[in-house]
Chain A
Amino acid sequence: MAEPVAKLSKKDFESDQEVRWCPGCGDYSVLANVQRVMPELGVPRENFVFVSGIGCSSRFPYYMNTYGFHTIHGRAPAFATGIKLARPELSVWVITGDGDGLSIGGNHLLHVIRRNVDLQVLLFNNRIYGLTKGQFSPTSRLGMKNKSVPMGVIDYPLDPAAFALGAGATFVARTVDVDAAGLQDVLRRAHAHKGTAFVEILQNCPVYNDGEWEAIEDKRTRVEAALPLEHGEPLVWGPKGRRRGIRIDHGVPKLVELRDDEDPIAAGVTVHDEKHEGPAYAFALATLAPPEFPIPVGVLRAVERPSYERLLEEQIQGAVAARGAGDLRKLLHSGDTWSVEA
C-alpha cells in the first residue's frame, strides 16, 4: 500500500533512471524543485501523472517516480486531457517546451487552456530547439542566428504567457529555472488552481542558447531584471537608488521613477490584481520586456471558472438524474420495433 502522504519526501519522487540532460541545463533545477514540492501537495504519489511531448524537457516524466507518459511531439495537452477527463481525481502535469508547446503543439495548447481542463502546464522556454541541436523556436528573438537561420531569424517571436492569456487562461504565471523559492511558490499556486494553470519557466540551454536569461537568472542582476508580482502589492522593482514602478493605464504600461522613500501608490503605480476578470491587464503585464521594462515573474492572472472535467461530470450526473442510469435493454428497444412470431 501507499505510504501516508505526509511521510513522502523529495526522494520518493526520484525515479531510478539516470538523468540525461546536458551539464548545466536549467531542466535539472526545475526537476529538483518539482520533486521538492510534490510531497507537500497532499496528493498520494500514485495519483500524479506527468505527461510530455517531445523535446529535451519532455524527458522529464522518466525522472519522476510517478505515473508518466512521454507522448508525441506537441500533443501532450491532448493526451493529458484524455487522462483528466477519464479520471478527474488524478493530478495531471503537462511538461512541454517552447517548440513542443507553441510550434507543433500550438493548437493543442490553445485548446486545453481554452477548455480550462484542471491540469498544470509547465512550459520550459529556452527560446531554442535543443534536442534537434539548435534551430530557432517560435520564441527565439528576431535576428538570432543559428543553424537553420544563418542570416538571422525573421519570424516575429511569440510570448508564451501572452499566448496563454489570449487563449483565455484562468491561471498564468512566469518563473525562472534557478529561482528555487519563486519556482516552488508558483508550482504550489498552480496546483491549487482549479482549471488549466499555465506556467512559463524561463530556462537556460547552456549548449545552444546559453545566457538567454542571464540577467534574470543571476541573483546579482535579478533585482534589476525582474518585476516580482505579488497580489495586492504595487508593481515596483529595482535596487536602492534605482527604484521604479509601472503604471498600466488603459492597457498601456508606463514607467514611474520612484525615490527610495516614496509611496508608489501615491505616485500612481498600479497595484497588482491577479483577479481582473478581463485579460487586458494581465496581457499588458505579460508583454513587458527588456530593455525598457523588467520581466514580470510570479502569478500574472488567477481567476475562477468551472473546469471542463467538472462540467462534464455534472452533465453525466444530470443525465443520470433526469433519465436514470443507462439501461441497455431500454436503449436497444427504443423507438419503433416489431415482433416476428414463430
Chain B
Amino acid sequence: MREDFLSTAEAPSGREKRKPSQQVERVAIRFAGDSGDGMQLTGTKFTESTALAGNDLSTLPDFPAEIRAPAGTLAGVSGFQIHFASSDIRTPADQPDVLVAMNPAALLANLGDVRRGGMVIVNSDAFTDKNLERAGYAEDPLPALRDRYRLVEVPLTRLNFEALQDLSLSQRDAGRCKNFFALGLMYWLYNRPVEPTLKWIDERFRGDMREANRRVLLAGYHFGETSELFPVSFEVPRAKIEPGVYRNITGNTALAWGVVAAGVRMQRPVFLGAYPITPASDVLHELAKHRQFGVKTFQAEDEIAAASSAVGAAFAGMLAMTVTSGPGFLLKQEALNLAVVAELPLVAVDIQRAGPSTGMPTKAEQADLLMALFGRSSDSPMPVLAPATPGECFSVMLEAFRLAVKYMTPVVVLSDGYLANSAEPWQIPDVDTLPRHGIAFRTDPEGFAPYLRDPETLARPWAIPGTPGLEHRIGGLEKQDVSGNVSYLPDNHQRMTDLRREKIAHIAHEIAPVEPNGAESGRLLVVGWGGTFGAITSAVDEARDDGLDVSSIHLRNLNPFPPNLGDVLRRFDRVLVPELNTGQLVKLLRAEFLIPAEGLSKVQGQPFHVAEIRARIEKMLEA
C-alpha cells in the first residue's frame, strides 16, 4: 500500500506529465482564505501528501479565534503554511515562496510575508469591487503586483463551477469545493501524489459531494498541466531521513498518544480531567476516542473542577492529568497547590497561548513559565518540562508521568499553541523500547506512615484507598513530618517546606547534562526552551556555517535545571535567550547563575523567524 502511494508521488497514475519539471531543494507554501474556505483542511491534506512524497516538513496553521468571522474581512483570514524540503528542516520558514490567496483580504493579510519575487496565486474571480472594499483595498492591488511577484491569476470560482455544472449541488455546496481546486493545482505544481486525498474523499463524502470534491481536485490538477499559466512544475526530491516508519503528527496528537502510551507502559489506567479551551481541547478530543485503553476522560464543569478531579483520581491511584491553556492554568493553581502539599502524582499540561487574560486564543506564546514556577501561594515547587518539537510532545508525557510517580509530585508540562497545531514527520517509536516504569503502591501496614519518605527520592508512599490497614487522612493543612497529622509547629513547617523543595531540586541528578549544539565554549551561547527550538537551532547552524562563533542549548527541564547548566553558561562570553515573552527564562538564568544573560523578546502571537534570531546573533558578534 505505502509503496503504491510513494510510487505515485513521482508520476500520478494515469496523469502523465508533459511539461518539464524543475528540481528545487525546499519550498514554503502558504494557503490563505476566509476562515470558512477550508484552508486548514487544504493545508492538512497537502501536508499528508507531502509526507508521503518523502520530504521533511514543518507546518504552521494560523487561524482566527472566531469560528466564522465576517466573510472577506481581514479578521476572518485563516492561513496554513507548509515548508518542505529534500533536506532536514526545523521551521515552517520565515517567508513563504508561494502564496495562494483565495480573496483580497487573504492577499492583504499575507502578502507582506511573501519572499520578494515569489509566486502569488490568486482567485481572480474573488477580486470584485465589493470584496476589495471589504478587505480595505482602495484600488485593485493586482496590477502593481505583476512587477514584484510571479502573479498567477486563476479564475478559480468560475473553473470550480464549470467542473460541477451537471451535478445537482446547491450554489453554496458547490462553492465550498473550490479550495480543492487550489489543492489539486498545487499537487500538480509540486508533483505531489493525488491518490491519498482521493482516497480520503471516498471515505469522507457520499453521493454528489464525493463526486464534486473528486472532480474539482482533479480539475485543479489538470488545469496546471494544460494551462499556459504554468510553464514548469517543481519537484522536491525525497529527503534523506533516518530509516524507519513515519507518520505526520501534531503536538497535540503526540501529547495525547504519549498519555495513552504512559498508561500502557506503566500499566495503570489514565484519568483526564479537562475543560474545553483553545488550543488544548484537541488533547481532550483525542483522548476521549480511546476508552478501549481504559482512558477515563472527564469534561468537568470548569477548569478548577478539571484539576481537582484529577487530584482526586491521583489520590485513588490512577495516572491522572489535566490539560489546559494559560487562563485555565491560572484557575488550576489552587488544586496544584494542594497536590504539592498532599504530595500526589499528577501531570498538568499548559498549552500556552498569547495573553494576558483571554488574549489571542489561537496564537502562540510562551509566557506562562513564571506562572508554572511561582504562580501558587507560598513555596510550592514542582518540576516543569517543555517539549521542543511536536514529536517530543509524545515522549515528554512519558517522562512527566515517570517523574510524577517516582517523586510523588505534580509535574507541569509547558507546550504552546505553535507546537500544538504544527505537524512534522515523526518516526513511530517501537512500542517495546518505550520506557516502562512499574508502579509500587504501598500495601504493607507494618511501619506505614503517610509521610514516611523514601530516603533516596524523598517521595512519600502512594497508599491508595481500598488498601486494608493503610487508612489515613491527607489534606491542605500543613503536615507533621512522617505522621502526616495536622501540625502548626514552627520547626515542622520549616522542615516540611525544606523537604518539599529538596525533593524537587534533587531530580536534577537524573537529568541528562546539556550539550551545546556547536562548540563547548566560545563567544556566544543561545539558550532556548519549548517551541522555539527549530528557529533557534536553524539560526545558529546557519551562522556557524558562515563562520560565526555561536552555539546553542535547548532546555527541556525548566525546573530543576540540568545539573551542568551553570558550567555551560559560564563557558561563553555572552548568553542570548530568545523567548516568546518579555523575558522569563532570561530572568531565571540571571537570578540563578548571576550571569548577564540578554533576552530577545517577541510577542506577536507568531513563532520566531530564523532571520530574527540570526540578525541578533550577528549584531551581538559584531561588537
Contacts and interface: CB of A to CB of B under 8 A. Distances in A.
A90 B300 CA distance: 20
Interface string B242-272: 1111111000000001001100100001010
A151 to B, nearest CB: 33
Interface string B466-510: 111111111111000000011000000000000000000000000
Interface in B286-342: 290-296, 298, 300-302, 304-305, 308-318, 320, 334-335, 338, 342
A299 to B, nearest CB: 27
Interface stretch (B48-56, B85-93, B404-412): B48-56
Given A46-B469, A46-B470, A78 B428 contact: no
B241 interface: yes
Contact of B261 (A48, A51, A71, A328): A328
B246 A70 contact: no
Nearest to A77: B305
Given A2-B469, A46-B470, A339-B246, A324 B309 contact: no
B214 to A, nearest CB: 18
Contacts of B472: 67-68
Nearest to A74: B304
A266 interface: no
A328 B246 contact: no
A90 B6 CA distance: 54
Interface residues of A, number: 66
A247 interface: no
B51 to A, nearest CB: 7
A324 B247 contact: no
Interface in A76-125: 77-83, 85-87, 89-90, 107-108, 110-111
Interface in B209-248: 241-248
Contacts of A48: 465
Interface in A309-342: 312, 315-316, 318-320, 322-326, 328-329, 331-333, 335-342
Nearest to A73: B334
A70 B309 contact: no
Q: Which of B2, B304, B308, B464 has the most CB of A within 10 A?
A: B308
Given A62-B473, A337-B246, A69 B312 contact: yes
Contacts of A320: 291-292
A49 B271 CA distance: 19
A17 interface: yes
A323 B289 CA distance: 11
A336 B5 CA distance: 10
Given A69-B474, A75-B304, A82 B292 contact: no
Nearest to A325: B292
B468 A46 contact: yes
Nearest to B311: A79
Interface in A13-68: 15, 17, 44-52, 54, 61-62, 64-68
B522 interface: no
SS class of chain A's interface: helix, strand, loop or mixed? Answer: mixed
Contacts of B6: 338
A61 B317 CA distance: 19
B473 A340 contact: no
SS class of chain B's interface: helix, strand, loop or mixed? Answer: mixed
Contacts of A45: 468, 471
A15 B431 CA distance: 46
Contact of A80 (B269, B294, B310, B312): B312
Contact of A87 (B257, B309, B316): B316
A83 B296 CA distance: 12
Contacts of B294: 316, 326
B466 A90 contact: yes
Contacts of A89: 466
A323 B338 CA distance: 38
A288 interface: no
A72 interface: yes
B316 A83 contact: yes
Nearest to B337: A72
Contacts of B310: 82
B318 A78 contact: no
A46 B474 contact: no
B302 to A, nearest CB: 6
A11 to B, nearest CB: 14
B566 interface: no
B397 to A, nearest CB: 13
A336 B292 contact: no
B247 A340 contact: no
A80 B465 CA distance: 12
Contacts of B12: none
Given A75-B304, A85-B296, A319 B469 contact: no
A326 B472 CA distance: 34
B471 A86 contact: no
16 contacts: A17-B485, A48-B465, A49-B316, A69-B473, A70-B476, A78-B301, A78-B312, A81-B305, A83-B316, A319-B290, A326-B292, A328-B293, A336-B196, A337-B2, A338-B6, A339-B244
> Top 5 closest A-B pairs, CB basis?
A82-B312, A70-B475, A326-B293, A82-B309, A78-B308
Given A46-B471, A71-B338, 4 more contacts: A62-B486, A86-B271, A111-B300, A328-B260
Interface of B: 2, 5-6, 48, 51-52, 54, 196, 241-248, 257, 260-261, 264, 269, 271, 273, 290-296, 298, 300-302, 304-305, 308-318, 320, 334-335, 338, 342, 428-429, 431, 464-477, 485-486
